[in-house]
Structure 1
């Protein structure tokens, strides 16, 4: 099943889409107004999120699929983390921007992956909301990534994430990574969560990105999550190890779509990321 969230005034409605039909789960269970509520219920019952949703959908009213174009952030994660240097081209790009290139090669080849804190809820936006580029950076890029959705550390679904980054700041000194990665509107997620049971194989999904400026295409690229050097289970395990993970979290898995070194995002650009079986995440750009 596919899960999205609609805003209704100051309330939210959890929508489940199954076989092309959209069901309003909140209409049946008013306290069920987000994916976190659904995941918590499934965890208590010891069943999958799809089993809970299917039971509720049997009594739920349907809504027009057209209304889902207004879907908002599909979940409010307690924390967003990210993995880096999981694709060869990303490792090469970060080598080229850095004065210490060997450290990225070591991370790509090492047993331990690079995993870093990315965003809080207040720094995370949903579909069609503006992502931010820092005013103190002149080289900024989007990073399209498969996002793993975890409840109590277990993988319950997948989404699309945009790990917006300042390549200038990180390239100046790797110790500046937190400033390059974590700031206002630095992350977008959406437009939906697809349950883990509904994704055929998270390591065989086509991922593409387009960047437009004034109606003109500035960048387009396509890849596969099959090019990732690590598995989702491996990344999730390292994220959980020796740490108290949040109840509801998202772990971004890295990117292999890297614009040429001469490209930087500008205000009013539009970034569109598509991943098979999940959908399209679109965001305009502003300076923060």
Structure 2
């Protein structure tokens, strides 16, 4: 079977189906992509709202659309052929930031450097000397965290990023519009104004409207470090651009073989290969996260904020590349054509190619198009 998907697990995904001129809900069985779209569950959202999503997918009737390997290798920029999409549909795309100590320090550096990579190296040395790894074991919002906050203010290095990193309230933001995420094999986009940017390999939880976590997948929260570093008020411009959110390859539904405890101990491998021969390796360990995934879910949704179609929730990343790619002291930034691969033993591999968001085909298939397509197919 293709290395795109994990060797085991109950998988829920979506493909572009040219015969239907729209998306189909699929699962994988015996090396085949099985279309399980039905009037009962025309959407991934509908399956995730069920009492037992895994049981439904395991026994759902369907028909083969072809071999997994062939469809995974297809050109997903061509709507005339079947190809994989992001596995979510109507879920809102939310993301948590500053959930790891190391990335927390890098956000402070971005802010103090005002988005200038040339200044970041000197500031990194100063901030690390003040903060170090002292935040690693602090429980956010605890009395100990409050004492650290007071000490850092006295040292003159307090930051809004430290506030959400060790304070009581997590950073939760809207990453992308409904249906705008791209899937495995697609191009991901950088806003052309950015000169300092990086991938962010993350686990993404699939959460029902009731706040129940039903599965997980991989995500790339493409980040413009210079834009966000200039001002946190530019977060939306730094995060939400054409094809700047990648999710996939499939949602692994929770069942007897995979649960939230597996998410808590997951290891993610990152590999970036440039057309110039440059290779970057990175690793993110969920065991180092400072807030439990369920805490992040409860802060994202509940009585204070409802999502009738559920959410996809990025959990944040430990990875913050600091090694120099070209200019000494300027750290890492993407170049066009970079191949980004995010891999996990339990969740598969999410691979994308870096382009400019202005040069990638525009997103045109929105919610109204989906509803009309499903209606024309007799699925609504």
Q: Give the TM-score normalised by the residue count of structure 2.
A: 0.68
Bigger shift: residues 263-272 or 117-126: 117-126
Q: 1:61 to 1:132 in 2, by over 3 A?
A: closer
Q: 1:178 to 1:12 in 2, by over 3 A?
A: closer
What residue in structure 2 maps to residue 268 of structure 1? 337
Gaps of 5+ in 2: 1-9, 73-82, 113-156, 323-329, 358-380
* TM-fit CA distance, 1:30: 6.3
Alignment partners' CA distance in 2, 1:108 and 1:125 = 28
User: Which of 317, 336, 349 in structure 2 is aligned with 1:280?
Assistant: 349
Map 1:1-288; keep pairs closer than 5 Å: 1-9=10-18, 10-17=21-28, 22=32, 24-26=34-36, 29=38, 32-40=41-49, 42=50, 47-57=51-61, 63-69=66-72, 70-99=83-112, 102-121=159-178, 123-152=180-209, 153-197=211-255, 198-200=257-259, 201-214=262-275, 216-241=277-302, 242-260=304-322, 262-288=331-357
Alignment partners' CA distance in 1, 2:214 and 2:276 = 37
| 3-state SS in 1 of match to 2:341 | strand
- State the number of aligned residues: 280
Larger of the two Rg values belongs to structure = 2
* TM-fit CA distance, 1:225: 1.0
Gaps of 5+ in 1: none
* TM-fit CA distance, 1:16: 2.1
Alignment partners' CA distance in 1, 2:175 and 2:284 = 23
Alignment partners' CA distance in 1, 2:215 and 2:197 = 29
Alignment partners' CA distance in 1, 2:64 and 2:241 = 40
Q: Deviations over 1:179-202 (max 9, x none)?
A: 111222121100010012242421
Pairwise CA RMSD:
2.2
Contact kept in structure 1, 2:98 and 2:171, CA below 8 Å: yes
Q: Give the TM-score normalised by the residue count of structure 1.
A: 0.88
* TM-fit CA distance, 1:124: 1.6
* TM-fit CA distance, 1:123: 3.6
